[in-house]
Chains A and B, each alone.
Chain A
C-alpha cells in the first residue's frame, strides 16, 4: 500500500519496524491486560458470592423483627410460581450471557491486530448464519413465553371461594386495612392466617401507590377510582416486611407495612379481639383519663372504638388511621417507628419532623406531660 493510505494510528506500525524485543514486550503487556479483563469478567461472580454470604446474616429492624425482604426467600404459593419462572429465565439468560460474552472475548483476543496483519477477508454476511441467529433466540423465547402466559392466566383468575377477603386502601403515606367479612378495620399491620388464600382488593384514596410484600410475591398498583385484585397463600407464619413501591409523594420512603402471618387459631383470636370494645390495660387511672380527655382533639380524624366521645366511634369521614387497639401494634407511623410511648410522644408533637408532608397536624402546643398522658392512653389500648 502506498504511504498515503496508511492510517495515522500509532500502534499500527509496519512489522519490519518493530524489533523482536519490542514484540515480546507487547506480548507481555497483552497478557497483563488479559488478566485484568478476566478479573473484570469475574467481578459479578465474586459479587454473587458476597450476596449469598450477606443473605444469611442475622438482621433485625427497629422492633427487633427481621426486615429483610428478599424476593427469592419464597414464603407463598404465588412467589413460588414466580421464583420457578425466574429461575428458568435466569438460567436461559445466563446461558445466552455466557455464549455472547465468550464469543465477544474470544473474537477480541483471537483476532487482535498484530503487527504485519494483512487486511482480513472482507465478509459482508452469511444468510444461513443470520437466519440461524434470528431463529435460535426466537425459539428460546417461546420456551419462556409458554410458562409466562400460563402463570399470567393462573394468577389473574379468581381466588378460591374460601379465601379471606382483605381490602387495602392506600393513603399518603399509610395503609388502611379492612376485612369486610370480619368487620375489622386496622392500619399498616395486616394479619392473615397461614395456609389460607388471602384475596386482596386494592384501591387508593389519593395518589397511586404499589403494594409489595416481596416474600409473598409481586406487587400491584393501587389507584383511585380503580380496584385491583391479587391473592396468595402464605405457607409459613412470621412477620413480613412490605413497602409502598410507587413514588407517592414526599414521604414515600416512609410508607412501610407489616404482614403478620399467624396460625389460624391465633388469627381467629386476633380477629375476634378487634371486634369487641377495648378493655384498656392501665395502672395509672389519672393519667389514663387525662389522655382520654386529650384524645378528644384527635377524634376529628381518627376512630378509636371504646372512646367515650361518640365521634371517636364514627368511622365516616375520618382521614387518619383507625387507632382501635393501637397498643397491640408493633409499629406506628406506617411501620416507620417502634410502638413505644416515647416514639408516640415524638410523633404526636411533630409528625412532620419524622414524615414530612404527611397529613397529621402537629400538637406542639401540648406540654410534655400531656403528650405522655396521651401516649399512655394510646398504649393502653391493647
Chain B
C-alpha cells in the first residue's frame, strides 16, 4: 500500500546522486534545485525589502524626523515596493511553482528545464542589478509605478530611474520565460489520468497566473521600452514638455499593474486551497466553482485597470465602467472565501502552523478585500486614493494575503523540501507574533488615511494628529521583523537538527506526498496514473473507511513501490542558460553606463554575442 520507497532507477544517463558544490548549482536544470535557488534568493530579497520597510517606519516614527533625506526616503519607498513585488513575492511564488507543480502533476521535470534555469539566472541578475543602485547611491526614487512625466530625463536626470527600468526589463524577461515554461508544463506534462479538472488547485492557480503574466507583462515591457527610449533616444512618448499626454503611461502601467496584483495573489489562493483541505481532512468545497471563480477574476482583472486612476479626471463614463467592473470582481473573490469557509465547516481542523497561517490568511485577506471594495466605490476612493488607506489595503492584500499564504506554504512544504520538520512551537510563535504585529502595523494605517495622511511623505509636521498611530505602526513593523527572525531561526534549527519528516507528515492528498522527502532527482520512480482529485487520500484510506465515506476503493496512484521504469531520462546539467542570462543582462545593463566613455554601446553590443553564443550552444549541445 502506501509504502513509498524508491529503488534507484536502473538506467539513468546521469548520476542518481545529485553532484554537490557550487558548479552543480550553477549548472543545475533540476526543477527542485531551481526551486530552492528561487526560494532562497527571493527570501533574501524579501529581507532586503523588509529592511527598506523598517527604514521607512523609522523615518515616520515621529513627526519632523530628519533621519533620512527626502531623496533617500523616496528611494526606500520605491525600492521597498519594487523589491517586494518583483524580487520577493513573485519569485517566491515561482519557487513554489518550480518545486511543487511538477510533483503535483506527476512529472519528472518542467517542460523546458534549461529555459527554467535561464529564467532563474535572469531573475537573479536583474534583481542584483536593480539592488546595486544602493552601491552607487542612485536608488530609484520615483515610486514603484514610475509615473511619467516625473520619470523623464527632464525631471529625473540621474541614473535612479534607469536602474529601475533596466532592472524591471530584465526581471520581466525572466518572468515571461518562466510563465511560458509553466504554462506548457501544466498543459502538457500531467501524469496520465490527471485531467485539468483533477489538478490540485495550486496547479490551477499557477496555470492562471502564467496566463496573466503572459498577457500583462508584454504591456509593461513596451511601457518601459518607451520610457527607456524617451530617456536615451529623445522620443516623445511621455515628454510632457513637448506636449505628451501624461495619462498614456498610467494606462499602460495599470493595464499591466492590475493583473500584476492578481499575479501576486493567485498563487496564494492556490497554496491556501491546498492547505485547508489537508488540515481539515475534507476535500475542497466547490472545486469547480473555485476554478471558475479564479478564471473569472483573471479575465475581469484585465478590465479594471483604471480603478487605479479614479482621481485622474478620466470622466464619468470611464469612472462608472471601471467602478462596476471592480465591484463585479468582488463576487468571484467572495466565492473563493466562502468556499474555504465551506471546506472548514464540518471538517476536522488541525491547527498546525501551516493551517494557522492559512486561517490567518482568510481572516486578514477579508479585510483587504473589503477595503478594496471601498476603493472601487469611486467617490470614496477620491478621499482614499494615495492616502494611507491604500497603504493599509495593499498590505492587507499582499502581506496579510500573499505573504501569509507564502509562509503557510513554506511551513506546509518545508518537510518536502528538506526532509525535516520545522519546530511546531516556534512555528506557532512565528504565526502569533506575525499576526499580532501585522495588525498592529497596518491596521492603524486605516486611521492615518482617514485622518488625511497622504502616502509617500518623507516627513510630516507636528500637530497633524498622525504622530501616535505612526509610532504604533513603527513598533508593529519591528515586531513583524522579529516574527520573520523567529522563522529564520526555526529554519536553521530544522536544517541542523530537525525531526525527520518522512514522506507524508500531514496526511496529504496530492502526489508530492507519495514520494520521499526530499524527492529523488527523478521524482517518481514510475509516473503515476491518477484517477481522482485527491489521489493520495483515495489510495491511503482503507476499503472500509472508503466505503463508509462514499469512496469507491481503488488504487489511485501507481507510483508507489513499483519498479523503476527502464527509460528514466533526466536532462544533463548545462551552464549555457547562465551564459545566455549574462548576455541578456549585459544588453540592458549597458543603458546604465555613461555615454561619454562609449561604455553604453559597448556593454550592450558585447551582450548581444554573449547572448547568441549562449542560445546557440544551448540549442546545439548534445541532448541529455
User: Would A and B touch once assembled, by the CB under 8 A criterion?
Assistant: yes
Interface centre among A12, A71, A155, A228 (most CB of B within 10 A): A71
State whether B383 touches A156 (Cβ < 8 A): no
Which of A36, A107, A122 lies in contact with B345, CB distance below 8 A?
Answer: A107
Which of A61, A100, A105, A152 lies in contact with B379, CB distance below 8 A?
Answer: A152
A356 within 8 A of B: yes
Instruction: Given the known inter-chain contacts A8-B502, A152-B378, please indicate yes or no for A250 contacting B346, CB distance below 8 A.
Output: no
State whether B350 touches A124 (Cβ < 8 A): no
Q: Contacts of B320 on A, CB cut-off 8 Å? A: 149, 152-153
State whether A5 touches B280 (Cβ < 8 A): no
Interface centre among A62, A72, A223 (most CB of B within 10 A): A223
State whether B386 touches A246 (Cβ < 8 A): yes
State whether A86 touches B289 (Cβ < 8 A): no
Instruction: Report the Cα distance A332→B69, complex, angstroms.
Output: 21
Instruction: Given the known inter-chain contacts A123-B346, A152-B319, A152-B323, please indicate yes or no for A70 contacting B379, CB distance below 8 A.
Output: no
Instruction: Given the known inter-chain contacts A47-B444, A151-B379, please indicate yes or no for A113 contacting B330, CB distance below 8 A.
Output: no
State whether B315 touches A156 (Cβ < 8 A): yes
State whether B142 touches A245 (Cβ < 8 A): no
Instruction: Report the Cα distance A97→B338, complex, angstroms.
Output: 12
Q: Contacts of A148 on B, CB cut-off 8 Å? A: 323, 377-379
Instruction: Report the Cα distance A86→B389, complex, angstroms.
Output: 13
B545 within 8 A of A: yes
State whether A221 touches B311 (Cβ < 8 A): yes
Instruction: Report the Cα distance A74→B70, complex, angstroms.
Output: 32
State whether A145 touches B324 (Cβ < 8 A): yes
Tally of A interface residues using CB under 8 Å: 114
State whether A68 touches B507 (Cβ < 8 A): no
A residues 102-118 in Cβ contact with B at 8 Å:
103-105, 107-108, 111-113, 117-118
State whether B147 touches A208 (Cβ < 8 A): yes
State whether B348 touches A120 (Cβ < 8 A): yes
State whether B330 touches A137 (Cβ < 8 A): yes
Question: Interface code A184-226, partner B: CB below 8 Å = 1, 0 otherwise?
Answer: 0000000000000000001000111010101101111101111
A residues 296-329 in Cβ contact with B at 8 Å:
none
Q: Contacts of B328 on A, CB cut-off 8 Å? A: 141
Q: Contacts of B439 on A, CB cut-off 8 Å? A: 40, 43-44
Smallest Cβ-Cβ distance to A223: which chain B residue:
B246
State whether B341 touches A137 (Cβ < 8 A): no
Instruction: Report the Cα distance A185→B315, complex, angstroms.
Output: 28
Smallest Cβ-Cβ distance to B435: which chain A residue:
A40
B residues 458-501 in Cβ contact with A at 8 Å:
458-465, 468-469, 501
State whether B362 touches A72 (Cβ < 8 A): no
Min CB–CB distance B390 → chain A (angstroms): 10
State whether B461 touches A62 (Cβ < 8 A): yes
State whether A129 touches B464 (Cβ < 8 A): no
B240 within 8 A of A: yes
Instruction: Given the known inter-chain contacts A54-B465, A104-B363, A219-B385, please indicate yes or no for A112 contacting B349, CB distance below 8 A.
Output: yes
Which of B150, B311, B504 lies in contact with A219, CB distance below 8 A?
Answer: B311
State whether B352 touches A9 (Cβ < 8 A): yes
Min CB–CB distance B134 → chain A (angstroms): 18
A121 within 8 A of B: yes
Instruction: Given the known inter-chain contacts A93-B373, A120-B281, please indicate yes or no for A145 contacting B327, CB distance below 8 A.
Output: yes
Q: Contacts of A67 on B, CB cut-off 8 Å? A: 461, 463-465
Instruction: Given the known inter-chain contacts A152-B378, A218-B382, A246-B147, please indicate yes or no for A141 contacting B1, CB distance below 8 A.
Output: no
Instruction: Report the Cα distance A89→B443, complex, angstroms.
Output: 18
Min CB–CB distance A358 → chain B (angstroms): 11
Q: Contacts of A248 on B, CB cut-off 8 Å? A: 150
State whether A113 touches B331 (Cβ < 8 A): no
Which of B141, B283, B436 lies in contact with A124, CB distance below 8 A?
Answer: B283
Q: Contacts of A272 on B, CB cut-off 8 Å? A: none
Min CB–CB distance B224 → chain A (angstroms): 18
State whether B363 touches A101 (Cβ < 8 A): yes
State whether A93 touches B370 (Cβ < 8 A): yes
State whether B362 touches A104 (Cβ < 8 A): yes
Instruction: Report the Cα distance A119→B345, complex, angstroms.
Output: 13
Which of B344, B464, B542 lies in contact with A111, CB distance below 8 A?
Answer: B344
Instruction: Report the Cα distance A6→B540, complex, angstroms.
Output: 9
Instruction: Given the known inter-chain contacts A93-B374, A119-B549, please indicate yes or no for A8 contacting B505, CB distance below 8 A.
Output: yes
State whether A224 touches B240 (Cβ < 8 A): yes
Min CB–CB distance B490 → chain A (angstroms): 15
State whether B507 touches A247 (Cβ < 8 A): no
Binds A, one of B447-455, B574-582, B590-598: B447-455
State whether B327 touches A100 (Cβ < 8 A): no
Instruction: Given the known inter-chain contacts A108-B349, A111-B344, A253-B70, please indicate yes or no for A5 contacting B377, CB distance below 8 A.
Output: no
Min CB–CB distance B279 → chain A (angstroms): 8
Instruction: Given the known inter-chain contacts A119-B348, A229-B313, please indicate yes or no for A214 contacting B452, CB distance below 8 A.
Output: yes
Question: Interface code B365-397, partner A: CB below 8 Å = 1, 0 otherwise?
Answer: 011001101100111111111110000000000
Min CB–CB distance B78 → chain A (angstroms): 9
B551 within 8 A of A: yes
Question: Interface code B412-451, partner A: CB below 8 Å = 1, 0 otherwise?
Answer: 0000000000001000000010011001100110010111
B554 within 8 A of A: no
Instruction: Given the known inter-chain contacts A155-B379, A252-B457, please indicate yes or no for A7 contacting B323, CB distance below 8 A.
Output: no
B residues 278-293 in Cβ contact with A at 8 Å:
280-289
Instruction: Given the known inter-chain contacts A119-B541, A130-B289, please indicate yes or no for A59 contacting B463, CB distance below 8 A.
Output: yes
State whether B380 touches A85 (Cβ < 8 A): yes
B residues 316-366 in Cβ contact with A at 8 Å:
316, 319-320, 323-324, 327-328, 330-331, 334-335, 337-339, 341-342, 344-352, 359, 362-363, 366
Instruction: Report the Cα distance A270→B38, complex, angstroms.
Output: 64
Min CB–CB distance B600 → chain A (angstroms): 26
A10 within 8 A of B: yes
State whether B319 touches A245 (Cβ < 8 A): no
Q: Contacts of A51 on B, CB cut-off 8 Å? A: 447, 450, 469
Q: Contacts of B313 on A, CB cut-off 8 Å? A: 202, 220-221, 226, 228-229
Q: Contacts of B141 on A, CB cut-off 8 Å? A: 250
Instruction: Given the known inter-chain contacts A101-B363, A145-B323, please indicate yes or no for A71 contacting B383, CB distance below 8 A.
Output: yes
Min CB–CB distance B264 → chain A (angstroms): 21
Smallest Cβ-Cβ distance to B513: which chain A residue:
A7
**Which 7 pairs between the two chains have the least Cβ-Cβ distance?**
A218-B382, A69-B452, A7-B507, A214-B452, A228-B313, A245-B454, A224-B240
Interface of B toward A, CB cutoff 8 Å: 1-3, 69-71, 74, 77, 141-143, 147, 149-150, 155, 240-241, 243-247, 280-289, 311-313, 315-316, 319-320, 323-324, 327-328, 330-331, 334-335, 337-339, 341-342, 344-352, 359, 362-363, 366-367, 370-371, 373-374, 377-387, 424, 432, 435-436, 439-440, 443-444, 447, 449-465, 468-469, 501-502, 504-507, 540-542, 545, 549-551
What are 23 A-B pairs with beta-carbon distances under 8 A? A2-B1, A10-B424, A68-B451, A70-B465, A82-B379, A93-B373, A104-B363, A107-B341, A107-B349, A113-B351, A120-B347, A121-B549, A126-B342, A130-B286, A145-B327, A149-B323, A155-B379, A208-B147, A220-B311, A220-B382, A223-B240, A252-B70, A254-B459
A90-B374, A130-B338, A151-B378 given; name 11 further pairs at CB < 8 Å: A5-B1, A47-B447, A61-B461, A62-B463, A104-B341, A119-B549, A225-B246, A241-B452, A252-B456, A254-B459, A357-B70
